[in-house]
Structure 1
Amino acid sequence: MVSEHGSAQVLVASNRGPITYTLNEDGSLDARRGGGGLVSGLSAIGSEAEALWVCAALGEGDRAAVRQGVGEPGVQMLDIDPAVYSDAYNGIANSALWFVHHMLYQTALEPVFDAEFRRQWASYEAYNRAFAEALAAAAGEGAAVLIQDYHLALAPGILRELRPDLKIGHFSHTPWAPVDYFRMLPDDIAEQLLRGLLGADRACFLTHRWADAFRACCTEVLGAEALPLAGTRIGVHGLGTDADFLRERAHRPDVAERLTALRAEVGPGRKTIVRVDRTELSKNIVRGLLAYRQLLESRPEWRERVVHVAFAYPSRQDLALYRTYMDEVQRVAWEINAVYGTAGWTPVVLHLKDDFARSLAAYRLADVALVNPIRDGMNLVAKEIPVVSDAGCALVLSREAGAYEELGEDALVVNPYDVMGTAEALHEALVMPAGERGERTKRLAAAAMALPPQRWFLEQLEALRG
């Protein structure tokens, strides 16, 4: 039991923090601040709120910063043993829990929950306990603690045991698996995960669909009375876009330069189908490319008249499966260009290096936005492109994206596995009359802005304290 409490009144816990450090050859450190909904949201409460962000040291630069006592007010990095961190983050969070919630296992061969999995699970427990103990030590009496995502599913329950006085919330940024898929996990692990989240006063999700799946898992695994007995309330907070920031940022000079370069790559008079994704298995980039290929094959009138601008930024390249997937994205794009390209037309403009300014330029250029994930907690790209698009864009959207709950009425909705159906939706999007496209874009943008990051964060904080 923690005997001395800190003074922080609002605490956020997440694997990745708002700042990362790079260790230079001379031993000095360079700091780089991140963005995203949590950064924007936490800023909404003001500096007087005694807020603290607890995160993990992700690399050698972060660990060096912790050892040297380098940091900034309001951020506490945890220097967790690298082997424990790797087991917890890569072995369990990203190679087991993420696959379960995104329903991505090839079940004839995987998963295999063997002795190695159990060894890694012990590290996942230790990782979660390190966070819970740090939060317990830093939190003031009755403080509000908002714990983020599947990396920290056990932390609410551990923290509840250490500090029953705290107001604890947990937010899942991924989908939640349906009962039958969730029960793929060993029974004791499934129960431990659910009881971990039920340690929170509020368990929150991006959509009602994911919240309902969590309720169903609790009922099936723990019994019908589990949720009422725990006293855990379920919340749904559909994170939206920071429209003011996006629109201002999208008109800076560096974006204008990249927009000029992209227009040159696309060529004059051509329509654009734009996608911007991290190269994660769930994003379905390969089937998106195959659907574009089918469009060119079945509707040859689009040849030389449309370009697929596809940005596939690296993700989790320390995992072999992700490297293989990125290779396949490149192979299919190259094949389309080899088969259909001409001297004056490159059908697929593929970029792999992360460049936010170039992404915003593509948003502005988009006639059609393709967002076709196999499964996604929300997918903010689906919300960002209509907000930034210069002339309005048609949205081709997977029904398995969380954003479908809010945007489905004004999107062209597709089954993400159906390449032929997606190709037809792309055609419909390309021929959509300008007036209809403009009206849809207005409604899409309004829905996308309904709960911007600051309000999203404050809404959770107020509900937790209420």
Structure 2
Amino acid sequence: MAGSEGSARVLVASNRGPVSYTVGEDGGLTGRRGGGGMVSGLSAIGPDAGAVWVCAAMSEGDREAVRRGVAEPGTRMIAVEPDVFHAAYNDIANSVLWFVHHLLYQTPLDPVFDEEFRSQWASYEAYNAAFADAIAEEAAEGAAVLVQDYHLVLVPALLRQRRPDLRIGHFSHTPWAPPDYFRLLPDDVAAQVLEGVLGADRAAFLTRRWAAAFAACCADVLGAEVSADGMSVSYAGHTTRLGVHGLGADADFLRERAGRADVEERMAALRAEAGPGRRLIVRVDRTELSKNIVRGLLAYRRLLLEHPGWRERVVHVAFAYPSRQDLALYREYTAEVSRVAAEINEEFGTPGWTPVVLKVDDDFARSLAAYRMADVALVNPIRDGMNLVAKEVPVVSDHGVALVLSREAGAFEELGDDAVVVNPYDVRATAAALNTALTLPEAERADRTKRLAAAATALPPTQWFLGQLDALS
């Protein structure tokens, strides 16, 4: 595409952008800026770097902002037709690719790859093509492009066709499925996903385990050649290097934010609700199917059954913030979380003790309050690319915390030595792990917390982002 180059020398492409818009009752637009590693990373490279963030118009407010030509400096927002966006985002990205990588299908019934799926997949292709077109227009000659996550796996190959001069990276924030499970996808779609990522010069992952799974899929599905060290894949005359960047917690931000007055107020309210002197088992999650909240509640119930001495001495503070409620399966799961929590309270509760304190309204200050107060943090996902909650809690803990951690969380690779590790499917073993965590000697818990916090902050968000950028050089 000679002559079509833009001026951006660094580009990030992601489904969700740094700003989201809402339309007020008066018709005015209000923009809300988010945080996270990419926002801080782009800020760190400075205003003269020629950086552009390419993202989707996800809401009606975002689409209205595009119609009015309202844009944050350094942002290119793409507005595809709402039905195309819905099919690409909800039906393919969140209901197929997410399910494959997190091993979530109940395979006697799902998935069903029929004509409806093919129509949805065509929307996903169109969505990725729209991103590739926008990036190609914005990028300067030889620019570095960092494409993010499972929503945009086709972009690297499409972009290489349009702009072979660019340095292209792709980062997967999810796990990557092992070959046997990845091959649930139709053969041509499985190949297309892998070929899409292999269009990048570099494909990066949160852990070595997910990188190895990707390489194994490339070998199994495509017959690609994997290097002896497992860190590059050669296919169709092109070699893609693999990388690992284990996103860490932002310690400075978390500690400053956790010390504010609103967090102190939430701590007082939580302490009053839980009751004085009681130990707290804390979890903070979205009601995402992979987070395994229901089994966590069942493990807590088993703890109360098998160790009745903990009754009236411990409270499970469970923050389960609704996620993807436009999908029926997620609404049903959220309802099940509430039902199981209510059953435990009905079975064990007394006039002065509510065993489960369940909150479903998102409140970041309250989450930080629970982080500070937790005696035990329960992080038991079925499968998770990283899980930042496991990293954040030790960073802000007031008096030391015991971490009960699923071996299927990406964070296990860095935190497993100082956590109480569980098989996320084993309710009985998770109950035993909760008891172990509650009875850890205070000095050991403090030592573990220090080591957990050090490991959790080894690669803070800005360095995580800049490391990807440097690796494309």
Shorter chain as denominator, the TM-score bin is over 0.9
| Aligned residue number for residue 144 of structure 1 | 144
Map of 1:316-465 to 2, 5 A cutoff? Answer: 316-465=324-473
Separation in 2, partners of 1:450, 1:24? 42
What runs of 5+ residues in structure 1 fail to find an aligned partner?
A: none
Q: Does the aligned pair in 2 maintain the 1:182–1:217 contact within 8 Å?
A: yes
Separation in 1, partners of 2:172, 2:437? 32
Q: CA deviation at 1:25?
A: 2.2
Q: CA deviation at 1:41?
A: 2.0
Give the TM-score of the pair, scaled to structure 2. Answer: 0.97
Note the alpha carbon deviations across 1:373-428, whole angstroms, 9 max, x for none: 00000000000000011001000000000000000000000000000000000000
Separation in 2, partners of 1:114, 1:286? 31
Q: CA deviation at 1:2?
A: 6.2
Separation in 2, partners of 1:217, 1:455? 29
Separation in 2, partners of 1:65, 1:317? 24
| Aligned residue number for residue 128 of structure 1 | 128
Q: CA deviation at 1:4?
A: 1.6
Residue type of the partner of 1:448? A
Residue type of the partner of 1:416? P
Residue aligned with 1:88, SS: helix
Residue type of the partner of 2:301? R
Residue aligned with 2:12, SS: strand
Separation in 2, partners of 1:428, 1:107? 35
| Aligned residue number for residue 41 of structure 1 | 41
For 1:263, which of 251, 265, 271 is the aligned residue?
Answer: 271
Q: Does the aligned pair in 2 maintain the 1:2–1:162 contact within 8 Å?
A: no
| Aligned residue number for residue 7 of structure 2 | 7
Q: Does the aligned pair in 2 maintain the 1:158–1:199 contact within 8 Å?
A: yes
What runs of 5+ residues in structure 2 fail to find an aligned partner?
A: 227-232
Q: Does 1:232 align with 2:240?
A: yes
Q: 1:164–1:340: structure 2 CA closer, same or farther, 3 Å change rule?
A: same
Q: Does the aligned pair in 2 maintain the 1:206–1:378 contact within 8 Å?
A: yes
Percent identity over paired residues: 74
Q: CA deviation at 1:274?
A: 0.4
Give the TM-score of the pair, scaled to structure 1. Answer: 0.99
Map of 1:152-301 to 2, 5 A cutoff? Answer: 152-225=152-225, 227-228=233-234, 229-301=237-309
Separation in 2, partners of 1:272, 1:230? 53
Separation in 1, partners of 2:333, 2:452? 31
| Aligned residue number for residue 230 of structure 2 | none
Residue type of the partner of 2:135? L
Separation in 1, partners of 2:2, 2:324? 36
Note the alpha carbon deviations across 1:162-190, whole angstroms, 9 max, x for none: 00000000000000000000011111001
Moved over 3 A (4+): none
Q: Does the aligned pair in 2 maintain the 1:2–1:136 contact within 8 Å?
A: no
Length, aligned pairs only: 465
Q: Does the aligned pair in 2 maintain the 1:93–1:150 contact within 8 Å?
A: yes
